[in-house]
Structure formats: structure tokens, C-alpha cells
Chain A
Amino acid sequence: MSSQKQGAYGGAKTGGDTHRKTWDREEYAQRAKDHDHKSKEESKARYEAALAGKKYHRRASTPPDVRATEARQARLDVASRVGTTVLVGASAATGKRGKGAGFYCEACDLTFKDHLSYVEHSNSIQHLRAIGQSTEVAVATLEDVRNRLLWLKRKRDEEQRDVVVDLDTRLERNRLTEEQEQEEKRRKRREKRKNKKKADDDNVMKYESDDDGVIR
């Protein structure tokens, strides 16, 4: 037990009624004012909508960190796990919910059986909301388009710089890469053999002594 007395909420010493919560009066006054203002605006909008013969729907609030939707940077990866085996828990997925066998969406915790339904899901509003995107795309200006085209051209030029049209050079290059591949294969084979031999040696019971087993 400490000799020093502490308040129930820690930190502040008791004395008077300081343990009570203190209210920031200005902040709450501001909040009330905002609320009044908002409801006033809303009732005005509702009134105008009624005048125009429509029903007023309040707009859902937008999260502050929402991003504009963008086009895919690369192809959807649908083929990388072909031929592999994955263990799936028996009760892992019920219907689409949860992680099961198929295409799994991390953000929505859903599993899809084929890539068509998966891509449809990844375009859906549900998914876009879950990954924090608005479902809208920014309109590109002329400047954007020109910059994009210039960038694409530079990219293509750079790719084409390495392309050699000369037949002899290409044959030579192919021969070199082939040799390298052969060498790599040979090296692997040698390593494998070595490992196997080592394993065989390990399996044999060994007797080791300092002086090669000579009895003195």
C-alpha cells in the first residue's frame, strides 16, 4: 500500500470533487450548434424535395479517408495456385462466408468458387466499400491523358531498346542462355547426389576415436 492517496481514476489527487468528470462547455455548445444547423438544413432540403414532389433521402455519411476507385494495375491473379494443394478445414467456410476452397477475398471474408464470380465481387459496391474506396473514378483531363501517353511511349521505347533484330546476335544470346541453364542443371544434379551421399554416410553407424582406432 502506498502512503500517497490516489484518485479512483488514477493520477489526480483527491481534493474537493476533482474526481468528477469536467465538461468542456465550449465544445458541447459547438456540437449543439452544429446539430441544430444540420437538422435545419435537412428540414429545408426535405421541404424543397416535398415541393418538387420527391422524397428526401438523407445521404449516407462518407468516411473521411475514402479514396477514388482506380483501374486495376495488373491482371487479377487467378492462375498462380493451379496445381497446388491446400489444406482446408472441414468447417472453415459455410456457403461463401469464411475462408474455404476457392478464391478468397481478404477484405470481405468471402470465398468464391470461380474467377467470374470473384471478379464480379471485386467490382461490387460491397467490396469497394470494404476496401475504403468510393465507387467513383476521377475524370481525367487532357493533361492527364497526354502525360499518360508520354509515359507509355517512354516505357515502350525502353522495352524496345533491348530487342535485337540481328539474327546472329540473337542466336549467340540464345546459345549463352542455354549453356547457363545446362550448367545450372548440372550443378543441381551434383548437389543432389552429394546430399544423398552425405545422407547415406550419416545413416551408417560410426565409431570415431582420436587415433584411428589403434590400440596402444
Chain B
Amino acid sequence: MAEPKFHKADAKDLLDDRGYRGTLIRGQNPALLMEKGVRDRIIDSYYWKEQCFGLNAATLCDRAAELKFIGGTSGIMGKPTPFLCLAFKLLQLIPPKEVILEYLNFSGDEGYESDEDRPKEEPRNADDEPAARNGDGSRILDPNAEGKLGEFKYLRCLAAFYIRLAWEPVEIYTTLEPLLTDFRKIKRRTKNGFQLTYVDQFIDDLLTKDRICATSLWKLPSRANLEDLDMLEPRESPLQEEADRSDDDDGDIELLEREEMEMDRDSDAGAGSSEQGD
């Protein structure tokens, strides 16, 4: 059967906890990925009723482009941020993977028309992009995801958050890890105030923490675990080369230190002998 061409404007079907018949995520209703309390607050919030009604994957970009901060809930009443409301909307829409990748890596150049021109497909030159292939086998889903690709950084964060909630572990690691080289500043709403953070910091939180943006994230198998199961290749850090070099330097320093110490000892011994001579 073809894809349905329409979906409901409201979230009635999603919130029907007995007769939900839509797409499942890991065998359950996607709405359950957020906790009951925060879910209710989202549905009661004015932003949800006014701005999230009747959105589809394209019009959601309008709202995401207007985002000014990420975050979970704020204030004593636990008012949900627009970021969280839009994430919940994404859980209702469940856009296909390519749409999410477009959110994540929209580059803003209008050059490509056809699919062949898209930079996403294959790296032009494997030597230029060393992280394009991780080791020999496993390919990172999107080599161009590195650096400052997502034109709208809050849209990028939103997509990353959704990926962490909805996708499979291997995909999560391969898709989100290239984003660890995105060092742009972002604003984060805390319970009472704002905090400065960075995109890579947020991604790292997504991969390592179990609770973020007022949502308890589902238990992601650790990277080491997946590597043991041969589902993931070991991650090569962009700083690896530098770390190796500094290791070498450290070795040199140690050598130097040892030589110096020996020289000192020799000189001390020389001094002692001279004293003895007196």
C-alpha cells in the first residue's frame, strides 16, 4: 500500500492510549517516549495548541527556524519550551529518515537539483574526508554531517534529539557522532534562566546522559557494547592525530627529563668528589 498522503491535524490519534494504530517505535506508541507529566504539560501548553496545530514536516521548519533556545521545561509550573513541543510534534509525524537527515544536514546551497548532485550520497574524495569511512567497513550515514552543516542550528538540535529518541542504536551513533565537530553556541533554557552551551556538548549529552530536556531517554546500549558485538567500528576521534603526537612529545619529554636527571647526578657526584678532594 502506498504511503498515506494525509495525517491528522490534531494529536487525538497519538494520545489515544488504547486504540493507537499508527507507526510504532520500538514496539510502542511514540508518545510514550516522553513521560506522562511532561506530555500532559505539552498538550496543555498554548504553544502546542496554537503553533503546533496542523503542522507537517515542511511547515515544522518554519517554527524550528524561529527557535531561540533548546531546553525542557521552565518555571515553577514546568512550562514546556517550544523546542520540546516541536520534538513531541515530530514524534507524532514520524517523518521518514531522509527528511530527518535533511533537517540535520541542510546546507543551504541551492546547487544540487538531482539526487546525484547531492553531497550526501558519497564523499567526493575519500582522502579529503577521513571520517567518511569508519575503519574499513561500516560507513557513517552522512559524512557531510560534520562541522557546521546544519544551517539552522536549533533545527539541527531538534533533529538530533528526535534521532536519539526514535532511531536504532547503531544509527544513532553513526549519525550523531559526526556532529561532535559542530562547535556553535546554543542557548539552553533551564528551570530559571538561560545557560550557554554548544551543539557538540548537547550531542554528547544525548549520547551519554540518560535524562535531558525533561525527558528520560531510553537506555542506549553503550558504544563499547556495540563494538564488542561487531555492530560498530571503533570511533576515530578527530583529535586522535593530535593525541598521538602529544603522546610522542610526552615520550620525548620523559627521555629529556631522564637525561637531565642523570646529568644532575653526574654533576652532583663530580661536586662530591671535588669536596672529597678538599
Contact surface of A with B, Cβ cutoff 8 Å = 68-72, 75-76, 115-116, 119-120, 123, 128, 134-140, 142, 144-150, 152-153, 156
Q: Given A70-B54, A72-B53, A149-B151, are A136 and B65 neighbors across the interface (CB < 8 Å)?
A: no
B49 near A140 (CB under 8 angstroms)? no
Of A69, A76, A123, A144, the contact of B57 (CB 8 Å cutoff): A144
B221 contacts A by Cβ under 8 Å: no
Cα A75 to Cα B47 in complex, Å, equals: 10
Q: Given A153-B108, A153-B151, are A148 and B4 neighbors across the interface (CB < 8 Å)?
A: no
Inter-chain CB contacts under 8 Å: number:
98
B117: chain A residues at CB < 8 Å are: none
* Chain B binding surface, main DSSP class: loop
A140 near B57 (CB under 8 angstroms)? yes
Q: Given A139-B6, A140-B58, A150-B110, are A145 and B99 neighbors across the interface (CB < 8 Å)?
A: yes
A68: chain B residues at CB < 8 Å are: 6
A72 near B54 (CB under 8 angstroms)? yes
Count the B residues whose beta carbon is within 8 Å of the partner chain — how many? Answer: 33
Q: List the 10 closest A-B pairs by CB distance, nearest first.
A: A140-B58, A136-B6, A140-B57, A71-B59, A144-B58, A148-B58, A69-B9, A71-B54, A140-B56, A153-B108
B110 near A137 (CB under 8 angstroms)? no
B260 contacts A by Cβ under 8 Å: no
B62 near A123 (CB under 8 angstroms)? no
Whole-angstrom distance from the CB of B109 to the nearest CB of chain A? 9
B8 near A135 (CB under 8 angstroms)? yes
Cα A144 to Cα B10 in complex, Å, equals: 21
Cα A156 to Cα B53 in complex, Å, equals: 24
B54: chain A residues at CB < 8 Å are: 69-72, 137
